[in-house]
Structure 1
Amino acid sequence: MDLGMWIFWGAIVTLLAGCYIVDFLTGGKYSLKAQEKSLNRNSRVADSLRQVGRNDHQKGPF
């Protein structure tokens, strides 16, 4: 059980440290701006509406 604990917490710490290092080296280049977030949200809404439209047309009257 002790080895499993070390592997689990070691993986978590390694993942967090890796994310921090990548963010530090890229200078926060990958953080989304407000306009990009709204564009992503608008495209997700449009995609959802298309999916709903497809599902409605595929169902028959019964």
Structure 2
Amino acid sequence: MHWIMWVFWGFFVTLIVGVYLVDFLTKRKYSFHEQEKSLNQNSAVNDTLREVGRIDQQIGPF
């Protein structure tokens, strides 16, 4: 049973060290912040909102 503990914690330590190494080697070029949307994405969002508004007006609240 003792070796299960080493495998369990070893997995997490390896995962954390691996993530740090990837972050360091890629020089932090990956960012999880909101990126600017393209014109096609903005157009798709606007079309969707228009369609939802149209359907809401047709169906009504009840």
- Structure 1 length as normaliser, TM-score? 0.53
Kindly report which structure 2 residues correspond to 1:9-48, keeping only aligned pairs within 5 A, or say none. Answer: 9-34=9-34, 36=35, 39=37
Q: From the CA coordinates, give the structure whose radius of gyration is larger.
A: 2
1:6-35: CA deviation from partner (whole Å, max 9, x where unpaired): 00000000000000000000011111344x
State how many pairs are aligned.
43
Structure 1: state its 5+ residue gaps. 54-62
RMSD over equivalenced CA pairs, Å = 2.9
Q: Partner of 1:56 in structure 2?
A: none
d(CA) in 1 for partners of 2:15, 2:32: 21
d(CA) in 1 for partners of 2:6, 2:24: 26
Kindly report structure 1 stretches of 4+ aligned residues shifted beyond 6 Å: none
More helix by proportion, 1 or 2? 1
Structure 2: state its 5+ residue gaps. 53-62
- Structure 2 length as normaliser, TM-score? 0.53
